[in-house]
Amino acid sequence: MAPRPQTRWGKNRPPERRIWLPLLLLSSLLLAVASLNAVAAFLRRANDLGRRCAPRPAECTAGDVTSPRRRIAIVSFSDESEGGGRRSFRGVRAAVEGNKRAYAEQMGYGYVDARDLVDRSRPPNWSKILAVRSQLPLYDWVFWNDADTVVTNPNTSLESILEAALGHGDFESSPDLVVTEDFNGVNSGLFFVRRSKWSENFLDAWWNQTSFVHFGSTKSGDNAAMKHLINSLSAEELSVHVHIPQMQCLFNSYPWVPSWKSVYRLISSPVVTWQGVYSDGDFMAHLAGLDEKKKWIEMVLVVEPLSNDKAAPNSP
Ligand SMILES: *[C@@H]1O[C@H](CO)[C@@H](O)[C@H](O)[C@H]1NC(C)=O
Ligand SMILES: *[C@@H]1O[C@H](CO)[C@@H](O)[C@H](O)[C@H]1NC(C)=O
Ligand SMILES: *[C@@H]1O[C@H](CO)[C@@H](O)[C@H](O)[C@H]1NC(C)=O
């Protein structure tokens, strides 16, 4: 590399100027950090500022009151044997499980921890398919929850989420898979599966996508496999069986964390960011891709406390 030519800011500049430069850099840095925090605070108020994740209840057609109440289960597992690392899951199960169990109990849903079903021949995230498949015969709807998700507004029922997503509450005419999209397309961290032959077949086909199995990174391939399967459906099959709500924040909100990646995404995909960013009042927060998940869970839960005291058995 050629030596840099000396500029007029070189050795001979007066000493006062040498003080200004670092001060200028420092204040720009502080300004940048302050504006990032301001952006985070702004996005966190998205719902106050008029964003609507779901239509108002009155805009949904009322569910058929004569139909039986649907059996719904929240299915999850947390694999803590994954160990430490920066993207630590340690302690997440303790922080989240009480939250989910209390919510399920309050609403009359099943809660299934499918930890025992983890198939060690693949990265643990793949076993969500086995977990959902195992519960499908027992429930009408299975709601899969990744371990790094928490219920932040326990007053919201899953029925109302489904109804908001589908525009009706009729089980028989419902699609079989309800899943949201983020910057990368569909996100398999949170999704609903309806009990049906199509769903069983879809889950089996998903499990069969062995070419996507990938060890040794945060991307284990299960999400890519789901995306691939959905993309390979015909337009007709897609429209009948899969529903992707427009608003990601209906049940899969991502907290906005000041980082260069978030800033890049905010600038390159402002609409996707707005539709998916976690705001106070949202039903669920998903700490996808965040390090220090336990800290984030505590932060989200502290500001949006659960109405039910039982819901936080792990707090001191
Ligand atoms: C949930 O409902 C309870 C009582 O119905 C109310 O006091 C509380 O503020 C509600 N919480 C949220 C987050 O809406
Ligand atoms: C999945 O693979 C198994 C074993 O190869 C096969 O019997 C089954 O039909 C496949 N299912 C689907 C839905 O692709
Ligand atoms: C499993 O999924 C979670 C949540 O989406 C993700 O943060 C984590 O990195 C995944 N783990 C692996 C091994 O893929």
What is the tens place of the pLDDT at every residue in 221-255? 999 999 999 999 999 999 999 999 999 999 999 99
Of residues 258 and 166, more confidently modeled: 166
Q: What pLDDT does 311 receive?
A: 41
CA 192–ligand 3 middle distance (angstroms) = 18
List the domain boundaries for the chain. Answer: 41-301
Give the tens place of pLDDT for each residue, 81-99: 554 444 556 667 777 888 8
The CATH homologous superfamily for domain 41-301 is: Spore Coat Polysaccharide Biosynthesis Protein SpsA; Chain A (3.90.550.10)
Q: For ligand 1, what atom is nearest to the CA of residue 154?
A: 13
Q: Is the minimum distance from the CB of 307 to ligand 1 under 6 angstroms? A: yes
Three-class SS of the chain: CCCCCCCCCCCCCCHHHHHHHHHHHHHHHHHHHHHHHHHHHHHHCCCCCCCCCCCCHHHCCCCCCCCCCCCEEEEECCCHHHCCCCCCCCCHHHHHHHHHHHHHHHHCCEEEECHHHCCCCCCHHHHHHHHHHHHHHHCCEEEEECCCEEECCCCCCHHHHHHHHHCCCCCCCCCCEEEEEECCEEEEEEEEEECCHHHHHHHHHHHCCHHHCCCCCCCCCHHHHHHHHHHCCCHHHHHHHEECCCCHHHCCEECCCCCHHHHHHHHHCHHHHHHHECCCCCCEEECCCCCCHHHHHHHHHHHCCCCCHHHCCCCC
Q: Which of 199, 204, 228, 233 to probe ligand 2 with, by most ligand atoms within 8 A of CB? A: 204
Measured in angstroms, how far is the CA atom of residue 56 from the centroid of ligand 1? 17
User: Given ligand 3 and candidates 218, 227, 253, which is best to mutate, with the most ligand atoms within 8 Å of its CB?
Assistant: 218
Mean model confidence pLDDT for the chain: 84
